[in-house]
Amino acid sequence: MRDRGFTLVEVLIALAILTIALLGVAATTALQGGGIAGTFPFGQAAVTRGYYLSTATMLAQDRLEQVKRVQYRVGADPFAPGNPPLGFTDETPVNGFPNFNRQVRVVDGPAADTKRVTVTVAFTLPTERGANQESMNISTLVAARP
């Protein structure tokens, strides 16, 4: 009868491979230590930055949905003539989110009777050395309804 299991050599080789892989991941995260990751323990930095990015995404998507509800019809352009469009003034800060600013910009789209809407949310990411300014954009095309 043959015994089942791993030999000592197989276990040592598996541990060596796992150690090399983990050292590679650790070296990569150490090289990316700029910004907030260099000021907090890595886990806390990732959680904080993730919170700010997900909040910025939510704020941008919310504003984009509000803009998409505007009735844009052929011959009646609610987004003309200026930026930000009427009813969508720049928010500095966003109500209820003191570290976030939001703006909407509308330009003519690639085809007739279309507009490209871009929502930019900028935020101040706190760090031990001060603060980092970051931003994210979400864009969509809006077509005029007949």
pLDDT confidence of residue 32: 59
**Domain membership flag for residue 12:** yes
Spatial separation of the C-alpha atoms in residues 58 and 3, rounded to whole Å: 57
User: What is the extent of the structural domain holding 59?
Assistant: 8-143
**Domain membership flag for residue 3:** no
**Domain membership flag for residue 59:** yes
- In this predicted structure, the answer to whether residue 60 has a pLDDT above a threshold of 90 is yes
Closest listed residue to residue 90, CA positions, set 53, 122, 115: 122
Decide: residue 124, CB within 10 A, 0-12 exposed, 13-18 middle, 19+ buried. middle
- In this predicted structure, the answer to whether residue 37 has a pLDDT above a threshold of 50 is no
**Domain membership flag for residue 77:** yes
Specify whether the backbone of 124 is left (phi greater than 0), alpha (psi in -120 to 50) or beta. beta
**Domain membership flag for residue 2:** no
**% of the chain beyond a pLDDT of 70:** 85
Spatial separation of the C-alpha atoms in residues 18 and 16, rounded to whole Å: 5
Looking at the structure of the chain, the number of domains it has is 1
88, containing H or E segment: none
**Domain membership flag for residue 39:** yes
**Domain membership flag for residue 1:** no
Q: What is the mean pLDDT of residues 41-53?
A: 78
Closest listed residue to residue 106, CA positions, set 61, 68, 146, 76: 68
CA 69, distance to chain mean position in Å, is 23
Give bridge partners of residue 104 from the DSSP assignment. Answer: 119
**Alpha-carbon distances of 115 from 66, 69, 80, 132, rounded to whole Å:** 15, 13, 10, 32
Contact 113, 145 (CB under 8 A): no
DSSP state of 89: -
**Domain membership flag for residue 47:** yes
- In this predicted structure, the answer to whether residue 46 has a pLDDT above a threshold of 90 is no
Q: What is the mean pLDDT of residues 86-94?
A: 87
Decide: residue 95, CB within 10 A, 0-12 exposed, 13-18 middle, 19+ buried. exposed
